[in-house]
Structure 1
Amino acid sequence: MSRRILFGLAASVAMTCAQADTLSLKVLGQPAGSGLIQQQKEQPFFENFAKHSGLDATVQYLPVDVAGIPDTDALRVLQGGLFDIVSIRGSQASRDEPILLGFDLVGLNASFEEGKRHTDAFFDTVDQRLQSNFNTKLLGVWPAGPQVIFCKPEVTGLKDLAGLKIRVGDQSVANFVAGFGATGVPMPFGEVQQALARGVVECAITGPASANSGGWPEATTTVLPLALQLAINGYGINLKTWNSLSDEDKAKLQGAIDTLVADIWSYSEELYEDALRCNTGDAACQHGTLYKLKLQPVADADLAIVKEALTAKSLPVWAEQCNAVNPSCESDWNATVGAQLK
């Protein structure tokens, strides 16, 4: 065999080895229309993943709506290995694994500080459950921001929700609004603006920044800034992908995600205040589109109702649902999150 052929074979083998050493990841992200967290934090992070992580890696990043995959299928996508990393929308994915709702029951997280404390307490429990049941390691969780009520008819408080159809993110909120005679309607985020405009629903619940990005103020008149949840989302990685990494690479990947998650916690709080200004026409708006919604003051009585909802309704209803598929669910929650409430 000639030296030229030998050299060519050696070069080919070297190139193949180099390509094999490069980590290739497929990442399924938040919906492209969901707002600035996806646009300004998540997508840039994954598109520059090698820089942020220090890993020799390439990433194919697709928002879930661009990929044409229902956001309710996040855990199934991870379990099957269709994507290596998925930005899990907690409320939607809870339909497959109700333990996720334990991060963010109605009435649990009245502030970002409470949300951080409660998610930290419950994190390992959820991670173990996802590893054993969905072939998924939980890498981190973060809040989209306080979930408030946008309505087409003018409302002054919770009592005015009677008889209205309200877009909700999960069953916990559906149960809560049902207590006021309203009907909770699950609906993908991208369909909500038109549903409001056409009267399919009269109200809808999301964070102010997401509502601004989705154009909800064009089809509504009033925002009631009564925080029901923080909309806890997270990042999961397929266990086969995770276990294929060296300990050093695992540390680099986890460290990069930790930095992203911490950044989103801070950014989410910043966006919440600014988006309220944008949605209500305050010229101090910096990041969104100016609209002219009426900002309805929140009554102390409504604040008390949301707080009481945790023990009166959302926790017992969720516990029954979660215990049905995971007998230790409620006791695990009480030993972790519940211990933070005492």
Structure 2
Amino acid sequence: MRITPLVASLIATLAIGSAQADEAIKWKAIGQPLATGLIQKNIEQPFFENFAENTGLPVTVDYKPIDTTGIKDTEQLRVLKSGLFDLVSIRASQNSRDEPALLGLDLVGLNPDYETGRKVADAYFDTLDQRLQKQFRVKLLGVWPFGPQILFCKSPVASFADVKGLKVRVSDQNLAQFVESIGGIPVPMSFAETHQSLSLGVVDCAITGPSSANSAGWTEIATRQIPLGVQMGLNGYGISLKSWNKLDAGQQAKLQTAFDTLNSKIWAYSEELYKDALNCNVGAEPCTTGKKYKLISVEPSDADRQLLKGALQSISLPNWAAVCDKVNPQCSADWKAKVGPVVGLK
């Protein structure tokens, strides 16, 4: 059978289209735990599930929240470095044992509000990005907040001083040292384990953001919240350099622009959730994003505010610097050069 020029042209076009389809990039991504709530559900997951549309790249992403993978949230940098995943929603404090520089984003007492947190993240970004690229072959694509991490307790606490002798769930060593300094007993524990541990009395108190506590049901068990953020819950997005380097310069620019947009959206949404969840947790209006509970919100005392303000210089910074400088002698010096001016430290 003779093939006409028109048919031949159509066959060639279809062949090219098929080849291009075969070249579509497929990535695997680890997200935040389902249990952490609305940032994961409403912002992060839709972004990754509609990745090609959001980035303008021929990339599809197999996205899985980390608490559905069997992988510990302390192992994220390792799985990126190994090539098992291409993209990860990095839980910064949880991975700080593998890379202490991560904790420099969110030392206890460093970020008292969203404005400061954003300035710290911007100032420290390049330093942290270079470190992650060197040590783990991971490029940092952005930093974003869960929001102020506050204290929830079953016991009728009225100030930080009342934590003395109580067991407190913590997510990193810097926070553990602060809890010890006020007489509490720090208990390192994953987010997913905390609800049951509060219920069974394994811990008396726990620290997280008010929206995450609401979504995870901690507020079913706790009776008090003290709305004074000891940390900002800063996290990030990272991509393996192997995957990043497969993109051309134009594609890399598109990807970075998309993550810049995503990060800005989370910063705004996080602040909205924080304010709303504080209301929801005590049964007040407006409450539009969570369930209403009947916690008592304890107004932070001047002593608590001063204690937290002083903790940065007296506890969290020197203790973190000692650990980080063992791994990288320039660690604290780099931090002080970039972040110090933002928070008034030399």
Q: 1:104 is aligned with what amino acid? A: D
Q: Displacement of 1:148 after TM fit? A: 0.2
**How far did 1:161 drift?**
0.5
Residue 114 of structure 1 and its aligned partner are, at CA, apart by 0.2
Return the alpha-carbon distance in structure 2 between the equivalents of residues 186 and 41 of structure 1.
28
Rounded to whole Å, the distance in 1 between the matches of 2:12 and 2:185 is 68
Identity percentage of aligned residues:
53
Residue in structure 2 matched with residue 176 of structure 1 by the alignment: 178
Question: What is the CA-CA distance between 1:8 and the residue it aligns to?
Answer: 12
- Residue matched to 2:291: 289
- Give unpaired runs (5+ residues) of structure 2: none
Residue 273 of structure 2 is matched in structure 1 by: 271
Q: Which amino acid aligns with 2:259?
A: I
Q: Name the aligned partner's letter for residue 290 of structure 2.
A: G
The worse-fitting range, judged by mean Cα deviation, of 48-57 and 310-319 is 48-57
Aligned AA (1:233):
N
**What secondary structure, in the 3-state scheme, does the structure 1 residue paired with 2:334 have?**
helix
Q: Across the two proteins, how many residue pairs are aligned to each other?
A: 341
Q: CA deviation at 1:276?
A: 0.4
Distance 2:31 2:79 in 1: 12
| 1:126 corresponds to 2:128 | yes
Corresponding letter in the other structure for 1:144: F
Q: Quote the offset at 1:3 in angstroms.
A: 6.8
Give the superposed CA RMSD. 1.8
Output the amino acid matched with 1:336: K
Shift of 1:13: 5.4
The separation in 1 between residues aligned to 2:106 and 2:164, in whole angstroms, is 24
Q: Which residue of 2 aligns with 1:331?
A: 333
For 1:227, what is the secondary structure of its paired residue?
strand
Counterpart residue number, 1:24: 26
Paired position in structure 1 for 2:37: 35
Q: CA deviation at 1:7?
A: 10
Determine if contact 2:110/2:343 at 8 Å carries over to the other structure.
no
Instruction: Please give the alpha-carbon distance, in whole angstroms, between the structure 2 residues aligned to 1:283 and 1:109.
Output: 27
TM-score normalised by L of structure 2? 0.95
What amino acid is aligned across from residue 235 of structure 1 in structure 2? Answer: Y
Structure 2 Cα separation of the partners of residues 74 and 98 of structure 1: 14
Pair 1:254–1:326, CA change in 2 (3 A): same
CA distance in 2, matches of 1:327, 1:180: 30
1:81: which partner in 2? 83
Q: Which runs of 5+ in 1 are unaligned?
A: none
SS at match of 1:71: coil
> C-alpha separation between the residues in 1 aligned to 2:326 and 2:19?
49
Residue 162 (structure 2) aligned to one of 157, 160, 163? 160
Amino acid at match of 1:183: I
Shift of 1:19: 2.7
1:58 maps to 2:43:
no
Which range moves more in the overlay, 122-131 or 56-65? 56-65
What is the alpha-carbon distance in structure 2 between the residues aligned to residue 216 and residue 17 of structure 1? 51
Supply the AA of the counterpart residue of 1:178.
E
C-alpha distance after superposition, 1:43-79 (max 9, x if no partner): 0111111111111221111000011211111100111
CA distance in 2, matches of 1:2, 1:335: 74
Which AA in structure 1 matches 2:185? T
Letter in 2 for 1:78: L
Find the partner of 1:204 among 198, 203, 206: 206
**Any idea what SS the aligned residue of 1:26 has?**
strand
| Cα distance in 2, alignment partners of residues 3 and 321 from structure 1 | 73
